[in-house]
Amino acid sequence: MRFRMIRIGLLSFSDGRERVHKNLSPIIEETARQIRKKLEDTEKIEVISGKEIIWQHAQAREQARFVASQGVDGTILNVPVFAFPNLARIACQFAQAPFLAFSPLFGGLPGLGGMLGASNALEQVGIPCEKVYGSLNDKDVTDKLLVFCRTAHALNGLRGRVLGLIGGRSIGMVTGEASPDVYSSLFGVDVDHIDQLEIIRRSSQVTSERINHAFHWLEKNVKSIEFDSKKLTQESLEDQIRNYYATKSIIEDRQLDFVAVKCHYEMSEYYFTQCLSAAFMNDPYDWDGKKEPLVFSCEADTDAAVTMQILKLLSGKPVIFTDLRHFDSENDIMVLCNCGAMSTWYTKQSENPSENLKEVSLVPVIEKYGGSGCHVRYIAGEGEMTFARLYRKAGQYHMTIFSGEVKKFPIEKLDETCPAWPHLFVKLSVSPEELIPNLGSNHIHAVAGDFAAELKKFCKLKNIVAEIF
Query: What would the DSSP string read from start to end of 152-177?
Result: HHHHHHHTT-EEEEESS--TT-GGG-
Name the architecture of domain 162-468.
Alpha-Beta Barrel (3.20)
Domain locations in the chain as residue ranges: 6-158, 162-468
Average pLDDT rounded to a whole number, residues 140-162: 98
pLDDT of 236 strictly over 60: yes
404 CB-side CA count, 13 A: 28
Query: Do 439 and 400 meet the contact criterion of CB atoms below 8 Å apart?
Result: yes
Beta bridge partners of 377: 361
Q: What was the pLDDT predicted at 85?
A: 98
- Specify the amino acid at residue 49: S
Distance of alpha carbon 146 from alpha carbon 142, whole angstroms:
6
Q: What was the pLDDT predicted at 1?
A: 61
pLDDT for 293-322, tens place per residue? 999 999 999 999 999 999 999 999 999 999
pLDDT of 3 strictly over 90: no
pLDDT for 192-211, tens place per residue? 999 999 999 999 999 999 99
Angle at 383 between CA 381 and CA 387, to 5 degrees: 105
8 phi-psi bin (left φ>0, alpha ψ -120 to 50, beta other): beta
Distance of alpha carbon 36 from alpha carbon 24, whole angstroms:
19
Coil, helix or strand for 64?
helix
pLDDT for 417-468, tens place per residue? 999 999 999 999 999 999 999 999 999 999 999 999 999 999 999 999 999 9
> What spatial distance separates the first Cα and last Cα of the chain, rounded to whole Å?
28
Query: Do 431 and 397 meet the contact criterion of CB atoms below 8 Å apart?
Result: no
Distance of alpha carbon 360 from alpha carbon 347, whole angstroms:
8
Mean pLDDT over each residue of the chain, to the nearest integer: 97
pLDDT for 355-414, tens place per residue? 999 999 999 999 999 999 999 999 999 999 999 999 999 999 999 999 999 999 999 999
Packing angle, helices 234-254 and 275-282, rounded to 10? 50
Q: Same CATH topology for 6-158 and 162-468?
A: no
pLDDT of 173 strictly over 60: yes
Distance of alpha carbon 169 from alpha carbon 94, whole angstroms:
41
Q: What was the pLDDT predicted at 469?
A: 95
Distance of alpha carbon 318 from alpha carbon 286, whole angstroms:
13
Query: Of all residues in the chain, what percent carry a pLDDT higher than 70?
Result: 100
Strand order, beta sheet including 6-12: 45-49, 6-12, 74-78, 99-104, 129-134
Distance of CA 187 to the CA centre of its chain: 13
Class of domain 6-158: alpha beta
Q: What was the pLDDT predicted at 2?
A: 57
Query: Do 248 and 242 meet the contact criterion of CB atoms below 8 Å apart?
Result: no
Distance of alpha carbon 405 from alpha carbon 201, whole angstroms:
42
Comparing CA positions, the residue from 283, 214, 222 lying closest to residue 242 is 214
Helices (H) and strands (E) in the chain, counts: 15, 21
pLDDT of 177 strictly over 60: yes
Query: Do 342 and 323 meet the contact criterion of CB atoms below 8 Å apart?
Result: no
pLDDT for 49-64, tens place per residue? 999 999 999 999 999 9
Q: What is the pTM of this model?
A: 0.96
| Helix ranges, 70-161 (H) | 85-91, 111-123, 139-158
- Specify the amino acid at residue 38: K
Average pLDDT rounded to a whole number, residues 265-277: 96
Distance of CA 137 to the CA centre of its chain: 29
pLDDT for 96-140, tens place per residue? 999 999 999 999 999 999 999 999 999 999 999 999 999 999 999
291 CB-side CA count, 13 A: 13
Q: How confident is the model at residue 4 (pLDDT cuts 50, 70, 90)?
A: confident
Distance of CA 333 to the CA centre of its chain: 25
Peptide bond into 183 cis (omega under 30): no
